[in-house]
């Protein structure tokens, strides 16, 4: 599951593009760094089981405060992502690039 994934998706705030960096830490844990709109957000203490990972937390900056529950499934080189947030539910795909 480790790798760099390219993402493009639509949100209520418009189209967003960025990258997801996943790194398994062992013991069923995974970390994620989400890079969107020139901002980097670390998603820590995610759980990984086989080809699926899960994150729960809060992304916060000067303009946003987003609570999230994320489930992702890796199929081939495509990461299928399902996010439930206080701004709505989203599903999108990320393609492995590294």
Q: What is the pLDDT of residues 11-67, one digit of tens each?
A: 777 788 999 999 999 999 999 998 987 888 888 779 999 999 999 988 777 777 888
Position 71 scores a pLDDT of 97
Q: For 72-79, what is the mean pLDDT?
A: 97
Position 40 scores a pLDDT of 85
- Which residue range(s) make up the domain with 50? 3-96
Residue with tokens 């590294």: 98
Q: For 74-89, what is the mean pLDDT?
A: 93
CATH number of the domain where residue 30 is located:
2.40.128.120
Q: For 62-76, what is the mean pLDDT?
A: 90
Report the domain count for the chain. Answer: 1
**Predicted confidence (pLDDT) at residue 81 exceeds the cutoff of 80:** yes
Radius of gyration of the chain (CA): 13
Burial class of 53 by CB neighbour count within 10 A (0 to 12, 13 to 18, 19+): buried
> Which structure tokens are listed for 19?
């990258």
């Amino acid at each position: 599951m480790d790798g760099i994934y390219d993402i493009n998706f639509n949100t209520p705030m418009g189209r967003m593009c960025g990258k997801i960096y996943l790194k398994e830490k062992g013991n069923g844990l995974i970390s994620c760094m989400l890079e969107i709109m020139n901002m980097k957000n670390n998603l820590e203490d995610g759980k990984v089981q086989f080809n699926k990972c899960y994150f729960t937390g809060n992304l916060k900056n000067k303009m946003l405060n987003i609570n999230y529950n994320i489930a992702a499934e890796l199929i081939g080189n495509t990461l299928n992502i399902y996010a439930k947030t206080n701004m709505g539910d989203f599903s999108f795909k990320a393609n492995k690039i590294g």
